[in-house]
Amino acid sequence: MTPRITLAITARVLRQLTRDRRTLAILLVLPCALQALLWWIFKDDPLVFDRVGPALLAIFPFFVMFLVTSVTTLRERSGGMLERLFTLPMGKLDFLLGYALAFGLVAMVQAVLAVSVAVGLLGMDVGGPVVMLGVVGVADAVLGTALGLFVSAFARTEFQAVQFLPAVVVPQILVCGLLTPRDAMPGVLHAVSDVMPLTYAVEAMDRLASGEALGRVWADLAVVVAFGLAALALGAATLRRRTE
Amino acid sequence: MSSPVVVVDGLRVVRGGTAVLDGLDVTVEAGVTGLLGPSGCGKSTLLRSVVGVQRVAGGTVTVLGSPAGSPSLRTRVGYLTQSSSVYDDLSVTENLRFFARVLGRPVRVVDETVELVDLGRHRDQVVGRLSGGQRSRVGLAAALLGDPELLVLDEPTVGLDPVLRRDLWAVFHRLAADGKVLLISSHVMDEAERCDRLLLMRDGAIIAHDSPAEVKRATGTDSVEDAFLALVVPREGRGATSSTSEDQR
């Protein structure tokens, strides 16, 4: 790994993002807009927004980051782009970390915006430190990025890449505790939700909102980060200099 | 002739269960070498093997004295893929600055290279809006940035108008005069005349390896296209008779 090359990739990905206004809007504005929509739906029953809002602070960034990263990296894998990059002095880690860093920076902006809107504008009730919502949000978005990088190895077209959304992301949303507390779910599903990374991001947001001890939040955060690193490692294993 | 720059020895490549290359031996010397043959004959596979991105089932490929794909070669070999492989959503200079940074080259080489491929007027244009020929010149510029000793170009002139093709070949010969080694593939036989040496390829085998004049002389033909036919037809019509190819192995 060479920092110069990693940062070159980060800078290039960010520059490409600034060229693509619509994608940038999806990354930055959409999570806030969906948050506002939810608030509006439950305008007459603000307790619902307070209960569901924190979970959505984890779900939306995860969702959009997964989508954008899987398609972007697939584009790079096809068209000979990755092949050419691998004839240059670029390491696999340069590529993966370059991407993770770029989307991590976007995630930071996204988290600041989403938390500001949810807490500042829509009056979400948060018991714990608000800053931690942002920290969890960034970790959670980077997790989405890492998973997106990984699954892009198993798609041949952008169409196939998009199909991973209902296959990989939606099940996690269903069992993460958003629809019903995880304790109320059948045992098998509870066990399934235990091994889903999004569960821990949602749990961390919920704990922060209800003002639980920070120790539990850090533990959840550690699980999210561990899943993210594992996905990056798996992603590295799917990158091959030599292909058939 | 100086020692070969690329030595391919018994190269075997299997794709999708079938052998695309099966025990290929070939060398590439200094100057401009044209790798010519019809689509699907294994040209790209051979070039990918030379730059070290092709999974290989057997044999060796040695480039500038090191095994193909060695880390030490990554700054010494420039590669242009068939699809150019540049970022369509970035401008010409943005693309080249990225590649220059990855290669660890100063930013000023970007300006020099832009002029070399004659894209000065388009430097700030987004690559996606350029014509096919301009786009492939961006790809060529990216391959030139690292000042490589060997340039491997996969169909750099495909789809270009004749004037542009002539200009690009002039660039190739200028580079060769500067001491660079070029290995250029094409499926257009009339480009053969512009090469110092030819590798005629068909069905994963090299059927001739010599200068254009010598290939024509040995087959008693007036054009490389006719020479190619002369080399191929006896093989198909009357089976493997004595080949007219000079140094076929």
B139-151, pLDDT tens digit by residue?
Answer: 999 999 999 999 9
Terminal CA-CA length for chain B: 19
pLDDT tops 90 at residue B239: no
The two tokens of residue A194 are: 């235990």
B102/A89 CB distance under 8 A: yes
Q: How far is A19 from chain B (nearest CA, A)?
A: 7
Mention every residue, 6+ apart, whose C-beta is less than 8 A from residue B190: B223, B224, B225
Measured between CA atoms, the residue of chain B closest to residue A87 is B74
Q: Nearest CA of chain B to the CA of A58: how many Å?
A: 30
The size of the A-B interface in CB pairs under 8 A is 77
The SS3 of residue B18 is: strand
Among the partner residues A20, A88, A242, nearest to B55 by beta-carbon distance? A242
Q: What is the pLDDT of residue B244?
A: 44
A4 contacts in chain B (CB < 8 Å): 101, 104
* Nearest neighbour of B15 by CB, restricted to A8, A89, A244: A244
For range B25-39, the mean pLDDT: 94
Residue B240 pLDDT more than 60?
Answer: no
- B13 three-state secondary structure: strand
Q: State the pLDDT at residue B236.
A: 58
Using the CB atoms, write b or e for B20-55: b if 16+ within 10 Å.
bbbebbbbbebbbbbbbbeeebbbbbbbbbbbbbbe
Q: Is the pLDDT of residue B187 over 90?
A: no
- The per-residue pLDDT for range B72-131, each reduced to its tens digit, is 999 999 999 988 899 999 999 999 999 999 999 999 999 999 998 889 999 999 999 998
Looking at residue B30, its pLDDT comes to 93
Would the CB atoms of A80 and B52 count as touching at under 8 Å? Answer: no
Query: Using a CB-CB distance cutoff of 8 angstroms, which residues of chain B are in contact with residue A86?
Result: 53
- What's the complex ipTM? 0.88
Task: Tell me what the mean pLDDT of segment B232-237 comes to.
Answer: 67
The two beta strands, B32-36 and B181-186, are parallel
d(CA A216, CA A38): 27
Q: A83 and B90 in contact by Cβ < 8 A?
A: no
- Answer whether B101 sits within 8 Å of A89, measured CB to CB: no
| Average pLDDT across chain B, whole number | 89
Q: Which residue of B has its CA nearest to A5?
A: B102
In terms of CA atoms, which chain B residue is nearest residue A88?
A: B74
Taking the mean position of all CA atoms in its chain, how far away is CA A141? 3
Nearest-CA residue of chain A relative to B15? A244
- C-beta atoms of A80 and B85 within 8 A: yes
Burial of residue B18 (number of CB atoms within 10 Å: 0-12, 13-18, 19+): exposed
A82, closest residue in chain B (CA to CA): B85
Position B90 scores a pLDDT of: 95
A81·B85 Cβ contact <8 A: yes
Please tell me the predicted confidence (pLDDT) of residue B27: 96
Whether pLDDT at B246 is above 60 = no
Judge: B85–A8 Cβ closer than 8 Å, yes or no: no
Using CB atoms within 10 A of its CB, is residue A82 exposed (0-12), middle (13-18) or buried (19+)?
buried
Contacts of B103 in chain A (CB under 8 A): 88-89
pLDDT (0 to 100) of residue A241: 87
Instruction: Provide the pLDDT for residue B69.
Output: 92
pTM of the entire predicted model: 0.88
One digit per residue, pLDDT tens: chain A, 244 residues? 899 999 999 999 999 999 989 989 989 999 999 999 999 999 998 888 988 999 999 999 899 999 999 998 898 888 789 999 999 999 999 999 999 999 999 999 999 999 999 999 998 989 999 999 999 999 999 999 999 999 998 988 889 999 999 999 999 999 999 888 899 999 999 999 999 999 999 999 999 999 999 999 999 999 999 999 999 999 888 888 888 8
Residues of chain A found within 8 Å of residue B94, distances taken between Cβ atoms:
12, 15
Give B101's contacts in chain A (Cβ within 8 Å). 4-5, 8, 11
A80 CB neighbours in chain B (<8 A) are: 81-85
| Shortest Cα–Cα distance, A160 to chain B (Å) | 21
Q: What chain B residue is nearest to A86 in terms of C-alpha separation? A: B53
CB atoms within 10 A of CB A173: 19
